[in-house]
Each structure stands twice: as structure tokens, then as C-alpha cells.
Amino acid sequence: MPDIIPFRAPLNWHYMAIHRCLDCNSTIKDSEKRCWACGSEIKPRDTAPKLSARFASAINFFFILSLVVTAASMFTDLMPPFLRCATVSGVLFLVRSSAGEMAQKKRKS
């Protein structure tokens, strides 16, 4: 699965995931909450930390991209105005740091 598509990858990962019963190892559908073979309860998968980590890396990617565009806007007229780029970079920086905090909190708990 390529990491280049940060917003599509978690969706594919979610729908393609097959999990197995911890007790009898039979294959279980995503929608099933109990094992059809042995009846043991299935714990919901821990998707949140992975999703927020992916979100954080996507934000990180856009932050770096906006920094590059901001730097480029100082030297060329082809890019959007410097102030607008700097504002976008600032907003992404704030989102990035709060997304990182969110991911860390979820990992710890």
C-alpha cells in the first residue's frame, strides 16, 4: 500500500482488513462482533492511533509543501503572495502540533 496517498490509504486498509478470532483462529468479518465458530467476543480493533498518525503525517506533508511554496513565493511571481503562503504555513503548523499531541495522547492511554 503506497504511503503517497495519505487520505485514501486508511480507507483501503479498513475495508481490506481481515481479522481472526483469538481463540479459534477462524476468519471474521469486520461487521461481526462475535466469533461464528466459538462464540467468543471480538475486541474492536484499535484503529484510532493509526488513523491519527496518518493524519499527522499528511498534515506534516502539507506543512512542508506550504513552507516550500512560501519560500518560493519570495523569489518568484508565479507563486501565490508571500503573506497568504505564510498564513497557510502558520495554520498548518498549529494543526500539525495539535494533531501530533492527539496522536501521542492516544498512544499513551
Phi-psi region of 39 (alpha: psi -120 to 50; beta: other; left: phi over 0): left
Among 5, 11, 17, 37, binds Zn ion (CB under 5 A): 37
Name which of 33 and 84 has its Cβ closer to Zn ion: 33
Residue 15 to residue 5: CA distance in whole angstroms: 16
**Closer residue to Zn ion in complex, CB, 11/38:** 38
Decide: is 38 part of the binding site for Zn ion (CB under 5 A): yes
Residue 22 near Zn ion by CB under 5 A: no
Taking the C-alpha atoms of residue 36 and residue 78, their distance in angstroms, rounded to an integer, is: 61
The smaller minimum CB distance to Zn ion, of residues 17 and 68, is found at: 17
Residue type, 97: S
